[in-house]
Chains A and B, each alone.
Chain A
Amino acid sequence: MMMGRPQGRGPGGRPQAGQRGGPFMGLSAPVERSKDFRGTLKKLLARLRSERLVLAVVVVLGSVSVVFSVIGPKITGNAMNVIFDGVLGKALPAGLQKEQAVELLRARGQGQLADVLAASNAVPGAGIDFKALAQVLALAVLAYVLASLLAWAQAYIMAGVAQRTVYGLRREVEEKLARLPLRYFDSHAHGDLLSRVTNDVDNIATTLQQGLSQLLTAALTVIGVLAMMLWISPLLALISVITIPLSFAVTIVIAGRSQKEFIAQWAETGALNGHVEQMHSGHALVQVFGRRVSAIQQFNDQNERLYRASFRAQFLSGIIQPAMQFLSNLNYVGVAVIGGFRVASGAMSLGDVTAFIAYSRQFTMPLLQIASQLNLLQSGLASAERVFEFLGAPEETPDRVGATAPRTTSGHVEFDRVSFRYLPDKPLIEDFSLDVRPGETVAIVGPTGAGKTTIVNLLMRFYDIDGGAIRLDGTDIRELPRDAVRRAFGMVLQDSWLFAGSVRDNIAYGKEGASLDEIVSAATAAHVDSFVRTLPDGYDTLLEEEASNISAGQRQLITIARAFLADPSILILDEATSNVDTRTEVLIQQAMARLRQGRTSFVIAHRLSTIRNADEIVVMDGGRIVELGDHAELLRKQGFYYDLYQSQFAETVGVDAAGRANIPLLQPAG
């Protein structure tokens, strides 16, 4: 007797993936359904088009392997018949013909045994025909070995197909990221985006690796086994087939009921996780406000509720397996008893009954597998749907054909009647004109949330303007390749973005192929060199996300060094510093001032000195540009800027500003 074909869930890329939809699915999230099952499946299969020859080989190998493994039990059944014939033959006196022996038995009143003998190939007096047995078994060995070899080849090749496809998909996803407009990043939650390009892609990998080929072999096995069963004995096949709808009915009834329990379990899990998150996040508050006991009490109550819900869910869904086992045993008993009668009446050989038992045991497993693989496929397709949605997002307009990059820029920036809006129905910047000569400084001021980064977005062509033109040395920046525009600018933002890598690599980010000397001199200019040298690994010190070896201020200095290295003709600086100690703050100011020398600068300004000395001040509020001019002009105007300035001035000299000024000019320092 042999076991089922290799449909057990061999782990795909990730060990945990195999659990999804399995008998323990209650402990992973409920399987998500795709909205458009067929459409997404089609798209996913379309990705395999380039692999279609290999896939054809996989299908052929899989099918042939299934055929061999399905034939196996029939062959071993024949071996059993050879043995049984020997047993029967030995019990009869030698020299008798089989027919004579049959009549002899009938005459003795052993009608049943006579039937058995009549149906057999026994030779009276002869024992087991070992030569014939050897031949049959050799055939069985051949079938089994071939079945395994082909199954191995199939899985081996399929691994290649799946991994190549996912590799390509990942690459495509990354390339897509590079082509998406900033608008996409700004309007989608980063967490969700990240989850699409990582978790969802991994999930697709698992589906491709296990799902498709296993579905195929499981389906083929069901068909093959059913065919064999019908061939051996339609009557017994009927018994086995009856248990199928019964199994499904049981599964559906139990699964339906346990589904409700699972939903309850997930609700309780959510509530408990929420409580844990809050109590851990507000840890110090819980302690100091004397809420420890009540936090634990509340947790215990919720934990108990979760326990009750998950126990019910686990118990109910856990019954499915024994129920299947029960039906399978029932089927076994039926086949054993009815088969016994058939053999006893000579209608069937013993070998066929043993073969049949093997088949019927083999029958339920692929069915269960199809069910769980379909579940896995569902979740894989839900992921695929999200990934395809991402891949289908509209991209940035390509650079104008034939656009050429100027070798150098002088730093002359001109806004000519620029208008821009993030949302079509919310005009933000209308008809804005400003001429910035090389070397001039523009200060952008306004309260938090005034939309000061909008100017940055437009200058860098992160967003394209809706009307008018922004010109760089007289050329509309939309006529230039984006890279050329961005090469002209250096950017130091408040959010000091560094990647996981060494200090050296992070500074070198400013210029491709920068030499160590260039890096060190940029670092020196930005006050980075001195503290880097105190680090254990110097420039090779690795910066990690939660690394505490580098302070927030030092991170900011590194981004300044990066801008030094890039040596742009125009600068975009954000003066805001958060979580920076005073000493470093002074260093940052000095470095920024040095960086600005001889360059056109757009400064999101927070310091009076910067603002006062700016050639032009752009005052923003509520996303719009509300005033424009230099310090003296704007003060004379007694408008928005005047109020801003006054409120700060009042604070500085210690006059009680309550009630009069409530708009901070200075950004909160932390």
Chain B
Amino acid sequence: MLIRLLRRYIAPYRRQIAIVTAILLLQSVGNLYLPNLNADIINNGVAKGDTDYIWRTGAVMLGITLVLGLFAIVAVYFASQASMSVGRDVRGAVFDRVQSFSAREMNRFGTASLITRNTNDVQQVQLFVLIALTILVSAPIIAIGGIVMAIREDATLSWLLVVIVPLMAAVIGVLLMRAVPLFRQVQVKIDRITEVLREQITGVRVVRAFIRVRSERERFETANADLTDTSLRVNRIFALAFPSLLAIMNLSTVAILWFGAGLVDRGDMPIGNLTAFLQYIMQILFAVMTAVFMVILIPRAEASAQRIVEVLETTSSITEPLRPIAPQRLSGLVAFADVTFAYPHGERPVLRGLTFEARPGRTTAIIGGTGSGKTTVVSLVTRSFDVTSGAVLVDGVDVREQALEGLWARIGLVPQAAYLFKGTVAQNLRFGNENATDAELWRALEVAQARDFVAAMPGQLEASIDQGGTNVSGGQRQRLAIARAIAKRPAIYLFDDCFSALDAGTDARLRMALKAETGDATVIIVAQRVSTILHADHIVVLDEGRVVGSGTHDELMRTSAGYREIVESQLGAAAA
């Protein structure tokens, strides 16, 4: 997954990566050339007593050091640029993709998860790219360069590398193979601890009410012992890692000295080369070792990449029609024709054979409990979902045949959870209609019964709203959300159970004002509270996805047992 993701998003930065790789190559050659010059100092300067030679070679070494320093800075420049660019691009791609999602995909992933995927997961991948470009890539380069230099220096001693490098790789391989699965387990077990503690904190009243402190402790104890056990195993495996790699490296130097001594004695190798050889081996092994410990980052980056790719490879179930049909007349007529709808994995359809019409200038109410599918009705009009069979028609044309933006432009939606954006009251109200004048905004606020409290807020229309609208009360939030829809002046109003946080009086006043304001628009109100929809022109009663009643309040009280049941359960038997 990681490779798949990166292959695509790194491609535009091939140039930077080529530069970084080239520089790393030069750098490793340079770093390896220093011991070579040092060998020359020993062979030609020290052993022959030539001080001039020592000075000259020293100057060359200094020059190389300077050039290497500059190279390194250039490499860091391009590596940072490439990795941050990849991060930016992936982040942008995820955001774009999520924007195209319909409610189905939003529900599948969950908002919180999508936020994490769009932010933290991208950061993980970005971090990985940076490390890959600096450390992971340089390891093989240094290793290969080291091997080449070592062979050049003395081919006969190089066979040692054939022993040491695979040995090291084997040790590392075994350790990682044992440790990586344990790492994953540790993560799972930490999550379990978190779960138990979260339950203890959020459920503290229940735990204490049922006197279950002791059994909670046992639950936690099990999780804690389990985590400790696994962590201990991981850490003990890692306790072995450095000492063993270190032993390999150090013993390698001993072996090089021993076998090198033979070569030197026979006159097959100058002594200076022996010191150079020692330093090559160390550089190679050190590079490999550093890289290995960065390999630990791979599982995390891999997991993040997996989560990102899942988003990027999900296409919205709601697509634009190839040839959109524009309705002849835009009056706002909404019609459900024998609509059946089932969630992807749902056993039973949420709506079954639903047929009704919501006409312009009239208020149509949908009532029923949660399982009844009434919120789904709203979702089908906005094409958050598409019907399983039947059709939803707006202005006489199937919504699936219409251009999405065109359809949405005619709808004023007030969702169940009133959500406000960070900014000012005015910015929120202009969300659907950027050209609304202040007067129009005040008018919308008045209808939504929000004028008074907005007028009392510091700055009034310019009063600031926190993210999500958390700095105003639930009822105020709902009223602002309603005002936002009104300010858009849509042909179709969809109120999805959005009067729930309002007290009865406000609810009543709001509906009266709304009636006058909406005029010729089609109004669809979805509600659980009977009092909210008593005065609707037309009430559709849903139960388990079927229409069990249809008509005005008075008619339904006479004809629909289901409706009467709802009224009784909410208002008491006396009301019915």
Whether B201 and A341, one on each chain, are in contact in the complex, defined by CB atoms closer than 8 angstroms, is: no
Q: B205 near A333 (CB under 8 angstroms)?
A: no
Residue of B nearest to A559 (CB): B206
Across the interface, A276 reaches (CB within 8 A) one of B95, B509, B512, namely B95
A156 to B72 alpha-carbon distance, docked (Å): 37
12 more A-B residue pairs beyond the given contacts A486-B209, A660-B505, with a C-beta to C-beta distance below 8 A: A8-B289, A8-B293, A111-B49, A116-B46, A130-B265, A133-B261, A152-B239, A272-B91, A289-B431, A329-B34, A490-B209, A669-B500
With A10-B239, A310-B87, A584-B369 as given contacts, are A497 and B202 in contact (CB-CB < 8 Å)?
yes
Q: Tell me which residues from 126 to 173 in chain A have a Cβ below 8 Å from any Cβ of chain B.
A: 127-128, 130, 133-134, 137, 140-141, 144-145, 147-149, 151-152, 155-156, 158-160, 162-164, 166-167, 170-171
The answer to whether A344 and B253 touch across the interface, beta carbons within 8 angstroms, is no
Kindly provide the distance from the CB of A309 to the nearest chain B CB, expressed in whole angstroms.
9
Whether, in the assembled complex, A491 has its beta carbon less than 8 Å from a beta carbon of chain B, the answer is yes
Shortest 6 CB-CB contacts between residues of A and residues of B: A112-B49, A581-B369, A662-B505, A322-B72, A6-B242, A155-B239
- Whole-angstrom CA separation of A657 from B300 in the bound complex: 60
Question: Chain A nearest CB: distance from B567 CB in Å?
Answer: 9
A344→B54 contact, CB < 8 A: yes
Q: What residues on A are CB-neighbors of B314 within 8 Å?
A: none
Q: Are A290 and B92 in contact (CB under 8 A)?
A: no
Docked CA distance A318–B239 (Å): 29
For A342, the closest partner residue in chain B by CB is B46
- Contact flags B121-148 to A (C-beta < 8 A → 1, else 0): 0010011001100100000000000000
Question: Is B309 at the interface (CB under 8 A from chain A)?
Answer: no
**B68 lies within 8 A of A329 (CB):** yes
B485 to nearest A CB, angstroms? Answer: 9
| Known contacts A190-B201, A197-B197, A669-B528: A509-B210 contact under CB 8 Å | yes
B421 at the interface (CB under 8 A from A): yes
A111 contacts across to B, CB distance below 8 A: 49
In the complex, are the beta carbons of B123 and A287 less than 8 A apart?
no
* A residues 579-604 in Cβ contact with B at 8 Å: 579-586, 589
Q: Are B73 and A194 in contact (CB under 8 A)?
A: no
Q: Which residue of B lies closest to A309 (CB)?
A: B84
Q: Taking the nearest CB of chain A, how far is it from the CB of B156, in angstroms?
A: 16
Contact of B300 with A152 in the complex, beta carbons under 8 Å: no
The answer for the CA separation of A652 and B529 in the assembled complex, in Å, is 11
Offer 13 A-B interface pairs, CB within 8 angstroms, sorted by A.
A1-B279, A82-B261, A84-B271, A141-B254, A159-B232, A285-B413, A286-B99, A291-B432, A304-B88, A315-B76, A462-B208, A493-B205, A652-B572
A86 is an interface residue with CB less than 8 A from chain B: yes
Is A83 an interface position by the 8 A CB rule? yes
Interface positions, chain B 64-116, Cβ under 8 Å from A, are 65-66, 68-69, 72-73, 75-77, 79-81, 83-85, 87-88, 91-92, 95-96, 98-99, 101, 103, 106, 110-111, 114-115
State the Cβ distance, B303 to closest chain A Cβ, in Å.
11
Which residues of chain A are within 8 angstroms of B279 by Cβ–Cβ distance? 1, 357
Q: Interface code A607-647, partner B: CB below 8 Å = 1, 0 otherwise?
A: 11100100000000000000000000000000000000001
| Residues from 300 to 351 in A contacting B, C-beta threshold 8 Å | 300, 303-304, 306-307, 310-311, 314-315, 318-319, 321-323, 325-326, 329-330, 332-333, 336-337, 340-341, 343-344, 350
Cβ of A447 < 8 Å from any Cβ of B?
A: yes
Task: Note all chain A residues with C-beta closer than 8 A to B202.
Answer: 190, 497
Q: Which of A18, A281, A648 has the most CB of B within 10 A?
A: A281
Contacts A160-B232, A336-B38 known; A585 to B369 CB distance under 8 Å? yes
Q: Would A1 and B293 be within 8 Å (CB), given that A27-B127, A285-B419, A341-B51 are in contact?
A: no
Query: In this assembly, does B211 line the interface, its C-beta being within 8 Å of a C-beta of chain A?
Result: yes
Q: Does A235 sit within 8 A of B, measured CB to CB? A: no
Known A-B contacts A272-B119, A277-B467; the reply to A582 vs B257 at CB < 8 A is no
Q: Are B115 and A167 in contact (CB under 8 A)?
A: no
Any chain B CB within 8 A of the CB of A654? yes
